[in-house]
Amino acid sequence: VSDGIDDAYMRDLMVDPKHDRHGIASNLIAMITERVKGSGIKMFSVLFEPHLADFYSAAGFHVMGGGEIYFES
């Protein structure tokens, strides 16, 4: 999701567990980040599960602390 100006956001990148460890997620992230870089977007945020921090860090992301919050209406 992007505002088309400054920011892009992604959540829940998933690969079928039968295809884990084949580089699919890494290739998808590489393609997505190249597209984001080429679009002029300045900040690309990803919401991910804590156990994936090393994966995103290896892909060039700067992992920041945070937490999950929600608003119930």
The 10s digit of each residue's pLDDT in 15-28 is: 999 999 999 999 99
Of 4 and 36, the one with more pLDDT? 36
In a domain, 11, yes or no: yes
What is the count of structural domains for the chain? 1
Q: Supply the pTM of this predicted model.
A: 0.76
| Burial classification of residue 69, based on how many CB atoms lie within 10 Å of its CB (0-12 exposed, 13-18 middle, 19 or more buried) | exposed
The pLDDT mean for the chain works out to: 87
In a domain, 64, yes or no: no
In a domain, 13, yes or no: yes
**Stretch 20-43: mean pLDDT:** 92
pLDDT score for 6: 82
- Domain that includes residue 39, residue range: 7-58
Q: What are phi and psi of 44, to 5 degrees?
A: -120, 110
Query: CB of 11 within 8 A of CB of 4?
Result: no
pLDDT score for 40: 86
**Stretch 29-48: mean pLDDT:** 90
